[in-house]
Every structure is written in C-alpha cells, then in structure tokens.
Amino acid sequence: MSQHNQEIYRTTSARTGKMLAIILGICIVGGVIFFSMWDYWISYQAPVVAKMAGESEHKLAPGVATGKHMDVTLKFIESPDFKTFAFNALPGEDGHNPEFKVKSGDEVTFSVTNNGKSFHAFGIVSDPENVNSILWNSAIAAASNPIKPGQGGSVTFTAGAPGTYYYVCTVPGHALQGMKGSFIVE
Ligand SMILES: [Cu+2]
C-alpha cells in the first residue's frame, strides 16, 4: 500500500493578508526603533572628526610657549592572560603607568612602542572614558588605523590649559583595561 505522504498546503487570501500585515508590522516597529535611536548609531565619530570637534568644543587655549621640552617614551604592554593592559609595566610593578607633570606651554614628545600582541593607539584625553576627547593634536595613530605589534610612533605637541588629563590607548576599551595614566598640566 502506498500512502499519500505529500503535504498539502491550504490557505486563504485572508490568512495570507494577515501574514503580510504581521510582516509589515514588524518592519514598521523595527524601523521606528532603529530611526528613533539614530543619534546613538551615529554617536561614535570617526577619529579625525572627533579630533576636530574636540578642538573647538574644549576651547583649551594652547599655553604660551615656555620653550621647555620633555621627551617621554612609553611601551604598550599586556598581561599574559590578556585581561590587563598597561604602559611600561603591569600593575604593582615598577614603572607602571607613570604620571607626567608639565607646565602649560611646554612642548612634549611622546614616543610609543607596541610591545604587545594587540593593536594600540595613543592620545592625551580630557575624559579617559571618551577616547574621542583627544587634546592638542596629541594622537599617535587611531583606533581605526592602530599601531601594530612591534611598531611605534611619536607625536610632539604643546601642553594647553592647566588641568588633570590622561594619556590613554585610544582603542575602545583599552583605557578601561588599564592603559591609562595621568598627564598633569600645571
Ligand atoms: Cu590598546
């Protein structure tokens, strides 16, 4: 005996209409959610745009040149388990994330080397949680075009208005993982 195993699909135009209405409804709801969050989607600016915005936004007048110059060398390093990122040495070790003090108007050169396995980038920021708040054109590379392992770079800039700032890795998340030190302008 051969059985009739073939499935037979039956529907009505009303059911098809209902299905289309559900699909359309999902599209509309999804669209509303997507476009209502538009400001959020575009909130992460391209590094170069952020850099330019930061310059006008913070209005930190560059200090009057003091004629003094400071050279700083930093190494990007990572813990073996990759959970902790730091400059020069891991937390608790000598030379970990050293603090720098300069006078407003001093010229500073940062030379950095990537001694880790991850990609890194450098910048002085006003807010360590906002890697786009880079000041004084102090960036070396950028999150979108970072320093690869074994490579390095340098930047020379003039320290601006007095305050407490931070030198960080500008790759998102790395400052929070420990790649952050104080940069104090007096
Ligand atoms: Cu990094």
Ordered domains of the chain (ranges, CATH): 50-185 (2.60.40.420)
CA 33 to centroid of ligand 1, rounded, Å: 33
Kindly state the percentage of the chain with pLDDT values over 70: 86
Q: Examine the pLDDT at 57 and tell me if it is beyond 50.
A: no
Q: Examine the pLDDT at 85 and tell me if it is beyond 50.
A: yes
Could you write out the DSSP letters of every residue in 106-126? -EEEEEEEE-SSS-B-EEEES
CA 164 to centroid of ligand 1, rounded, Å: 21
CA 171 to centroid of ligand 1, rounded, Å: 5
CA 185 to centroid of ligand 1, rounded, Å: 24
Question: In whole angstroms, what is the distance from residue 91 CA to residue 102 CA?
Answer: 24
What is the pLDDT confidence band of residue 58, given thresholds at 50, 70 and 90? very low
CA 87 to centroid of ligand 1, rounded, Å: 10
CA 77 to centroid of ligand 1, rounded, Å: 9
Q: Examine the pLDDT at 55 and tell me if it is beyond 80.
A: no
10-19, 61-70, 120-129, 172-181: lowest mean pLDDT where? 61-70
pTM: 0.65
CA 54 to centroid of ligand 1, rounded, Å: 21
As a whole number, the mean pLDDT across the chain is 86
CA 21 to centroid of ligand 1, rounded, Å: 48
Q: What is the pLDDT, as a whole number, of residue 7?
A: 76
